[in-house]
Structure 1
């Protein structure tokens, strides 16, 4: 199964490349560690995800023929087990970047799973939907699909030779869902502050500072609560993101809140560099944005839960609020006004989550599996 010259063949699998999020940034980092790897995914939308993927070799499932599914991968949910089963990977090692599907790819060689989280729609359906599943048509369909999908998901997890997870909370969820003891490997922050910067036209008049929230615009991200928290405050909030709630959030935003989407990395660097602090109100499995903000020396005001407990050093790189409510967020913002943060100390904390560190541990894990392969 060795490639030319006896060098092991490494492939990467990912659920779907249809959006610009932390998991997709991790895949780009994996590609930098294994530049010869082919990426296998169910759906690929070049316009919806990071442009760097255009430089990679991408193999897609039959579902990718549907433009409608490429634009909205959630519509494909009942079909994804079938689609993943039609993504066989012929390589000495496949590294599966998985939030619910990629860990099921059929592999001819070893399989190393990097788990961002067990599927939210199977194990945290109410948080994922933003309401009790029984109260909507989508939720009731999901409830009906959950028992067979969970059985499928647990069988998929059992095909892995080794499991890595991104945080303490995900390690605990993997143990609960699959009975697997996984090793924690935090992902790297994806935005290099030394890269090129490009002003965002809609924000240039706010270049003297604002609070920042960077997120997919989904119910469980609690972006609406943050927007409500700023209503009536003498503080500004910039929301960067895209998702189903975008129209609703734009309509509800008061004059001191602006919503922008579709930013390239150069624009995102400008947005981070001109912010004063990051707001992080969601229950995240890892929570990459505090590290991105920290790379620019900016502190984070975060929900005291989930992956933020791993990535934020209290009093050094940020502080916590107890619950994702407008009142709690507002109090955290007002308490932070005028507080001095040591930008150098914030950057020093973030350096512990650097890409070289991630690459060293990932390649070591991959090599361990390759060395164990008698082929």
Structure 2
């Protein structure tokens, strides 16, 4: 079976790219298509593959976000007619690639274009889009994206969502029923340390939606030690507001991240993620998760067992949650780590293979 895996863009390494690695483990001979590729931005596994890019790759524009209006057209230009299976690993655009009637197109949804739908108004405000011509242009652009996005999600033969939270959004905005296939986590990379240190940790890109500013504010007030792993456009702003008890490591290697996670007292999460791979990586390290209880975290963290969920997204609520967390007796790190195994890469690959085989069998019966 000839397989094409389509990925939105390869310009940084995060959760969707970890999913791509598991898909490549299942289909090592698959061809990779992506709208844009920043050479050297990916893991050795991904970089070792032949990566086919769109015409956008030739444009002299460094910020891929400035090309979003051209991406629907660019995705539709990929010629995929020679493949039996088209697997779109989407978080923005590539579910809209065009396949033929005799091909199986399966879309795995890491997240949808929330900035065009449910977070539209707050994202415009966050990026400083006020009134006047700038607001009108942005509104018309997003209106076009919404129309295209709705049509594009009707193209896959089968849609897989990475959590019930994602599936609910797919039904509401796109009227698509989605099968649940939880995102894969390389749990074998993580294990509890023999001893714990007295610090908390968070991992992620330093952007507003992650809520790291709220963590920094909370821990600057409380004086507890916090390690922030990752980089991004908010780094200077966060450093300026942080107390001496807060450490910014920048981007670290996977083994370095695993080491810090394994010795942490707790892991912090303040974003509404569709799934939240980093949360499960913390659990696999035997580290309980303290999180704002919205989004996919509700399906990975069991309140009072392997973590603590709180209702209000604020620095005050986070400090109150940490105080409650520290008063409780918790499961052993080994039992917390076991709770992450249901999200392993092996479990993902087995379920994905089963979904593909079932879909192919249904097509044969229909024909």
| Residue matched to 2:257 | 268
Equivalent in the alignment of 1:95: 87
Contact 2:201 2:226 in 1 (8 A): yes
Q: Match of 1:258, SS?
A: strand
Contact 1:115 1:165 in 2 (8 A): yes
Does the 8 A contact of 1:46 with 1:53 survive in 2? no
1:4-43 map, 5 Å: 8-43=1-36
Tell me, in whole angstroms, the C-alpha distance in 1 between the residues paired with 2:169 and 2:303.
24
Deviation at 1:135, TM superposition (A): 2.3
Alignment of 1:149-298 (within 5 A): 149-190=145-186, 192-193=188-189, 208-298=197-287
Deviations 1:45-95 (A, max 9, x none): 1333333311222111111124643xx321211111122122222310111
2:333 pairs with 332, 337, 343, which one? 343
SS, match of residue 97 in structure 1: strand
In the alignment, structure 1 segments of 5+ residues that lack a partner are 1-7, 198-206
TM-score, normalized by length of structure 1?
0.88
> What corresponds to 1:368 in structure 2?
358
Q: Could you say which residue in structure 2 is the equivalent of 1:111?
A: 105
Which one of the candidate residues 78, 81, 96 is aligned to 2:72? 81
Q: Deviations over 1:208-250 (max 9, x none)?
A: 3421111222212111111101113231111112222222222
Is the alpha carbon distance of 1:264 and 1:128 closer, same or farther for their aligned partners in structure 2, counting shifts above 3 Å? farther
The CA distance in 2 between the partners of 1:59 and 1:211, in whole Å, is 41
Counterparts of 1:316-331 in structure 2 under 5 Å?
A: 316-331=305-320
Query: Is the aligned partner of 1:55 residue 2:67?
Result: no
Deviation at 1:344, TM superposition (A): 1.9
Q: Compared with structure 1, are the counterparts of its residues 278 and 67 closer, same or farther at alpha carbon in structure 2 (3 Å cutoff)?
A: farther
Distance 1:315 1:348 in 2: 16
CA contact (8 A) 2:273 2:295 kept: yes
Count of residues in correspondence between the two structures: 356
Residue in structure 2 matching 1:355, options 345, 348, 356: 345
Please give the root-mean-square deviation of Cα atoms over the aligned residues, in Å: 2.2
In 2: Cα distance, 1:119 partner to 1:319 partner: 28
| SS of residue paired to 1:187 | coil
Give the deviation of 1:191 after TM superposition.
5.1
CA distance in 2, matches of 1:277, 1:130: 32
Shift of 1:43: 0.8
> Structure 2 vs 1, CA of residues 138 and 345 (structure 1 numbering), >3 Å: closer, same or farther?
farther
Equivalent residue of 2:98, what SS?
Answer: coil
Shift of 1:151: 1.2
Aligned to 1:204: none
Please say if residues 190 and 281 of structure 2, whose CA atoms lie closer than 8 Å, have aligned partners that are also in contact: no
Equivalent residue of 2:10, what SS? Answer: coil
| CA distance, structure 1, for counterparts of residue 344 and residue 9 of structure 2 | 25
Aligned residue for 1:120?
A: 114
Aligned equivalents of 2:128 and 2:363: distance in 1? 44
User: Runs of 5+ in structure 2 lacking a partner?
Assistant: none
Name which of structure 1's ranges 279-288 and 137-146 shifts more when overlaid on structure 2.
Answer: 137-146
- Flag the 1:297–1:225 CA change in 2: closer, same or farther, 3 A: same
Change over 3 Å in CA distance of 1:138–1:369 after alignment to 2: farther
